[in-house]
């Protein structure tokens, strides 16, 4: 069931530093000092707003053909959390708590529809207060952990897909894993630069990153940066 976005959508615009830090730290996955048990370290967080494509406006508003057609609305986004296992044993991510609710429960599969298995917050039997909290946080539609089993020294990404732009300035995300729970607060930042390309030096010691300014964002139209990489730790 679709819900329109509120007029109170809030958007905080910042420069290149936040997203660049996330990617550069994720690239540098060299080995660090081991600990006596499994441990999860947050490498970076990022809110990615959907990019509008005006050439497809009539696809979503075909009743306005032959045009001009209104912009697509509402626009959604996604929440990204980058983590690393700095311990000596694998870590398994079991669940994501988003806006105070377990996504394994509110986005569980339902089998009442023949040949379909829909997952929606509107089918989870939530109270009006719980639904209101999830809609204010952007209305999650799916989530994933890639990979769910994080080996020692490896990096994983948690993604929560949102149907609309959140109405709140910050999103609370709790990652439930075999070593406990790791909590982060993700600011809702729209208009961030977009990574449009990457290449590596022949010896794989440098990564060359190519950025493009998002519509309405700040910073130069195009940018280029170089980061040094470290070899991944050897597996025992």
pLDDT 10s digits, 226-236: 666 655 554 44
Is the pLDDT confidence value at 50 over 80?
A: yes
Between 25 and 179, the more confident residue is 179
Residue 204 included in any domain: no
CA pair distance 86, 166, nearest whole angstrom: 32
Domain boundaries, position 121 = 17-51+72-192
Residue 88 included in any domain: yes
Residue 78 included in any domain: yes
| Close Cβ partners of 129 (under 8 Å, ≥ 6 residues apart) | none
**Hunting for tokens 């979503």 — which residue is that?**
60
Residue 38 included in any domain: yes
For 216, the enclosing helix (H) or strand (E) is none
Please give the distance of CA 41 from its chain centroid, rounded to a whole number: 17
Between 54 and 28, the more confident residue is 54
E-only strand ranges, the chain: 40-49, 77-85, 91-98, 101-102, 140-146, 149-150, 155-162, 170-177, 180-187, 194-200, 206-212, 222-228
Which residue from 34, 174, 199, 22 is spatially nearest to 93, judged by alpha carbons?
174
The model's confidence at residue 212, banded by pLDDT at 50, 70 and 90, is confident
Is the pLDDT confidence value at 193 over 90?
A: no
User: 4-35, pLDDT tens digit by residue?
Assistant: 444 333 343 333 444 444 444 444 444 333 33
> What is the average pLDDT across 103-112?
81
Answer yes or no: pTM beyond 0.75: no
Residue 59 included in any domain: no
Number of domains observed in the structure of the chain = 1
Q: What is the pLDDT of residue 226?
A: 67
Residue 47 included in any domain: yes
DSSP 217: -
Cβ proximity of 165 and 3 under 8 Å: no
Residue 231 included in any domain: no
DSSP for 9-61 reads ---B---SHHHHHHHHHHHB-------SS--EEEEEEEEEEPPP-GGGHHHH-
Residue 5 included in any domain: no
User: 143-171, pLDDT tens digit by residue?
Assistant: 999 999 999 999 999 999 999 999 999 99
């Amino acid at each position: 069931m679709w819900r329109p976005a509120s007029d109170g959508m809030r958007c905080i615009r910042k420069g290149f530093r936040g997203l660049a830090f996330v990617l550069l730290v994720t690239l540098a996955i060299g080995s660090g000092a081991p600990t006596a048990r499994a441990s999860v370290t947050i490498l970076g967080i990022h809110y990615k707003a959907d990019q509008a494509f005006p050439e497809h406006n009539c696809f979503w508003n075909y009743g306005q053909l032959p045009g001009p057609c209104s912009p697509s609305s509402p626009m959604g986004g996604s929440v990204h959390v980058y983590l690393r296992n700095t311990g000596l044993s694998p870590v398994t991510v079991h669940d994501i708590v988003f806006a105070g609710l377990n996504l394994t429960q509110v986005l569980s599969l339902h089998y009442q529809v023949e040949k379909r298995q829909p997952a929606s917050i509107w089918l989870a039997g939530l109270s009006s207060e719980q639904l209101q909290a999830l809609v204010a946080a952007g209305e999650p539609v799916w989530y994933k952990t890639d990979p769910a089993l994080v080996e020692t020294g490896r990096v994983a990404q948690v993604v929560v897909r949102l149907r609309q732009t959140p109405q709140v300035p910050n999103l609370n995300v709790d990652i439930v894993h075999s070593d406990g729970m790791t909590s982060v607060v993700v600011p809702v930042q729209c208009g961030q630069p977009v990574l449009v390309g990457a290449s590596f030096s022949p010896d794989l010691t440098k990564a060359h990153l190519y950025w493009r300014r998002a519509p309405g964002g700040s910073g130069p139209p195009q940018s280029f940066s170089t980061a040094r990489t470290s070899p991944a730790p050897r597996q025992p």
